[in-house]
Structures are given as C-alpha cells and as structure tokens.
Amino acid sequence: MGSKVRDYSKLALDIIKAVGGEKNINSAARCATRLRFVLKEIPTDATAKISAMPGVISVVEKGGQYQIVIGPHVNEVYDVVAKELHLDDKQTEAPQEKQSLVNRVIAAISAIITPFVYVLAAAGLVQGCLIVIKQFAPGFADTGTYSLLNMISWVPFTFLPILIAVSAAKHFKCNTYIALACCCALLSPSWTTLAGRIADGEIIKFLCFPMSRTTYTSTVLPPIFLVLVLSYLERFLRKHLPDVIKSLATPFLCLVIMVPLTILVIGPLSEGAANGLAKGYNVLYEAVPAVAALVVGALWQVLVIFGVHWGFTPVTLANFEVFGYDTLQVFKTCSVVAQAAACFGVVLKTRNKEFKNAAF
C-alpha cells in the first residue's frame, strides 16, 4: 500500500495484468467513474488483487461486465488501457455475455451519455450561477449578458440529440455523419413548424401515414433508438448494395428511411415510454411525496454504484418537457449532497491518506 496512489499509468497496466492480459479481454470501455471490461473468463484472484490496488475504490461484477470503480480519474487510467489494448485501431468482436433487455438499455444509455456528461454539468453550473446572480441583482435578467449566458446554458440540452448522435454512433458502430444528419433532421425548424401545425389539429401525412406532433429537442430515447436501428440498416445496406453505388446509396437510403421511421414510429413510442415512467413516478409523488423522497434518496447512490442511474435521465427530461419542472432531480440532488457531506467528513476526520484521497 506504499506505492504511488496517483500513478494511474502503472495502475492501468496492473489492472490489465490482473484480469488476464489482452488475450482475455473481449472489450473495454469506461463511464464517469469506472472501467468496464467484458472478459472471456474472470481469473479467480483478480478481484482480490485489483481491490487492493491504490486508486481502486471497488470492483463490481454486473450484467456480464467486470467493472472497476476508480472515480473521477478513470479517464487517466482508461487512456493507458486504450493505448495498451489498441482500442483506437480495432474493435474486438467477441461475443458478450447474454444480458437482459433492461440491462442492455441501461448500459447503452450509460455508455452514450458519459462522454458528454460534464458538458451538461457545466451548462447546469452556468444556469445555477445565473440564478444566484439574479437573486442579488434583479436587473441583471434584463441585460444582454444574461441573455447570452442563458442561451449558452441551454444549448447542450436543446441540441442533446446531436450530442447523443455522436456517442451513439460510436457505441453502435455506425457512420457518425449519417447519424448526425438523421438527428439534425429531427431538430430542423421545418419539422418544428410541421409538428406545431399537427399539434393545432392539422393532419399531415407521410405517404399514407399520419405523422405525430412529437418534437425532439432535449430528448434522449428517440435519438438513441434511431441510431440503434440505423446501425443495423447501415450494415445491411453495406453488405448487400453493389460497390459502385454503395458510398452514395447508403447515406441516401439511411436518411429517407430512418428520419420518417423515427417521426412515425420510434419517436412516438420512445416518448410514450419516457412519459409513462415519469407519470408513474409523479403519481407516487402526488400521493405520498415523503415516500417518493425516501425511495429516491435511499436508492439513488446504490443505482449509481451499479451504473443504472442513467436510465432515469429520460424521466427527468420528460418531466421538464411536460410540466416545466421535476421533483425527481431534487431528491437525487439531496442524496448526492448528503454523500458529498459524508465525504467531506471523512476528509476532516481520517488520518488515512488512502481514505482521504478517495474522499476527495
């Protein structure tokens, strides 16, 4: 335990060795706090060895993944892992352990949102600063400075499907630019105008099918499922189209198929699923708010440990879209603040440098 805690290059190499080396690793990824391996087999002593390494918080086996919780420095470890395993040059196609549909959906949401989660957090921090400033300077809200900063704070949320398109294309292994084009079409002002006309009662059809009034700014599930289906369509087209037309015909067919399919089917269904989850939570909150607060507060950090907390992101966004506010976020925040206070208490009280570093 006397080795250098912050030597993350050494930690990465030690982890690779402990899990059996490159030959035993089917795939590797990361989320906000942990490394995620899919292994051919888990060495019997791997968990004990890795758990004892300085810089490792815990080891979790979940949903066919071998997850090593490191904390905010996981990027430094993952960069070395990616270099050692040549993740930028190849993708291991070995089969992964069978997972339930729920686990696969939550794992996908986590992998897709993690790359830009700090961008969303930064935008939220800008919003928070503006709220505080307005309390002490009421006239600030009427200035051009406030208008510009407020616009900046909402941009990542407004254009969330575009951020999702980039990371989802990488996760589902399809062409990033085709995914971007499809998701940008959903945010087009022309579609917003059409959706508004539909919302006002006008029936507008694509071929013989009436289109839904669903809009896609700030949505999570529609772009994720769009890119998922797109990945299968793109692979099918690249396999079956003649080489002479493949380069042009593939994006052409993907666009004219996926955008209408999303507007007609994927968007309304995924929006209904998110709104249904939000409605179920809101029913509990309206009936017994104390129980809703207790359940969310008690379980939230447990959900974070297992990496399934991303599955509630669509619920929060659906509440904001439908009601303009969200109580789930309040209870999640209370849980996070309580944990931060506990960590601060450890920093003040412990004399163990390892615990102090982990608490930081």
pLDDT at 251 over 90: yes
Q: Which of 35-49, 201-215, 219-233, 336-350 has the lowest mean pLDDT?
A: 336-350
Q: Which of 192-201, 212-221, 306-315, 334-343 has the lowest mean pLDDT?
A: 306-315
Bridge-based pairing of strands 34-39 and 25-30 is antiparallel
Burial 304-330 (b: 16+ CB within 10 A, else e): bbebbbbbbbbbbbbbebeeeebbbbe
pLDDT at 333: 79
Q: Amino acid identity, residue 173? A: K
pLDDT at 193 over 80: yes
Ramachandran angles phi, psi of 39, nearest 5°: -105, 150
pLDDT at 310: 58
pLDDT at 304: 65
pLDDT at 102: 59
Average of pLDDT values for 261-281?
A: 81
Average of pLDDT values for 19-30?
A: 84
Average of pLDDT values for 341-349?
A: 82
- Residue 250 banded pLDDT, cuts 50, 70, 90: very high
Domains of the chain in start order, with CATH, are 8-93 (3.30.1360.60), 100-158 (no CATH), 168-272 (no CATH), 289-359 (no CATH)
pLDDT at 308 over 60: no
Task: Output the average pLDDT for the chain.
Answer: 81
Max distance between CA atoms of the chain, in angstroms, equals: 71
Q: Amino acid identity, residue 171? A: H
Indicate the pTM of the whole model. 0.65
